[in-house]
Amino acid sequence: MLNIGIIGAGRIGKVHAESITYHVKEAQVAAIADPYMNEATKEWAQSLGIPNVYTDYKDILMDSSIDAVLICSSTDTHADIAIEAIKANKHVFCEKPISQDLSKIKAVMDVLAGSKVKFQVGFNRRFDHNFEAVRNAVTDGTIGDVHIVKVTSRDPDAPPIEYVKVSGGMFLDMTIHDFDMVRYLTASDVIEVYANGTSLVNRAIKDAGDIDTAIITMKLANGALAVIDNSRKADYGYDQRAEVFGSKGQVAVTNDSGSTAVISTASGVTGEKPLYFFLERYMASFSKEVSLFVQAIINDTEVPVNINDGLQPVLIAKAAKKSLDENRPVLLKEIVM
């Protein structure tokens, strides 16, 4: 049984703790740490049977019985904690992004080089059943050579302005998942980015120096073209769709909903709205990504999302921001580590 320590007991830390407890048979949560640990969180941890609860994550790193850590703390702490964990010989699962600072990602890569530590980045959408089906249709040759990729990603509502001010911008906070999805669905790297963006949802987002609506086009190393459309607010729910068009056909997936029931009456034809947000849509994917991380440790195999997979979407996000600011296409090679 693999012993896991979770660093960060916020929303995503709780999601992982519960998914491991209920769905990952080869591992158990042996400890959780959060500087803002309170009685309610302690009671929650106790209800899951987590034996050790700390305010200092270093207590987890110093525990020789802990095999791996999940870094679920605030983004600005990810890289520093990851470096400490690698030096403590703990396998690392790090939520995205590794850092908003490219030099910090490089520092993690340098420490990881030559280490036997497994390092996985938390891009959970790769493990969604819909997107896995698209990826399989591409990699098994069903649709032939990839020509066009379309990814739609729209949140049900904009985040609080306080969050927007520290998020690093929409490209690093929200679109980063879609940049990863383009790479995943095509099995190819992005080489050029052109971004258009504006603020149509909330004037306060514009005042904070960010955007809430965007169209991003990309050129890929395999010759394909990709387009992402984003919005911070879709009144009908979490809009997550993708299409890949190729030389032999196309594969497309639409939104998950509570059921596939369609009601037809004299007044019209109606169906259910998409599942409301990422916890409803992607819960199974959170369990699967950690399960595969655990299996990679146990079987000494490669993790499914490595540190380069964590780096590339940040590079694309930086290129997209540069493109937006300078109103021109930007090559990824212009973004220097």
- For residue 250, the SS3 value is strand
pLDDT in tens, 48-76: 999 999 999 999 999 999 999 999 999 99
Residues contacting 256, CB < 8 A, separation 6+: 130, 240, 274, 275, 281
pTM of the model: 0.94
Closest CA to 131 of 270, 23, 14, 289: 289
Domains and CATH numbers, the chain: 2-117 (3.40.50.720), 126-282+312-334 (3.30.360.10)
- What pLDDT was estimated at residue 77? 96
In whole angstroms, give the CA distance from residue 42 to residue 54: 9
In whole angstroms, give the CA distance from residue 151 to residue 276: 18
In whole angstroms, give the CA distance from residue 87 to residue 106: 15
Local structure of residue 247 (DSSP, 8 states):
T
- What pLDDT was estimated at residue 274? 81
Which stretches of the chain drop beneath a pLDDT of 70? Answer: 277-281
- What pLDDT was estimated at residue 277? 66
Could you tell me where the DSSP H helices lie in the chain? 11-23, 39-47, 58-61, 78-87, 102-112, 129-139, 161-164, 170-173, 176-186, 203-207, 278-299, 307-326
Mean pLDDT estimate for the chain: 95
- What pLDDT was estimated at residue 88? 98
219 HSE (CA, 13 A, CB side): 9
In whole angstroms, give the CA distance from residue 143 to residue 251: 7
pLDDT in tens, 133-149: 999 999 999 999 999 99
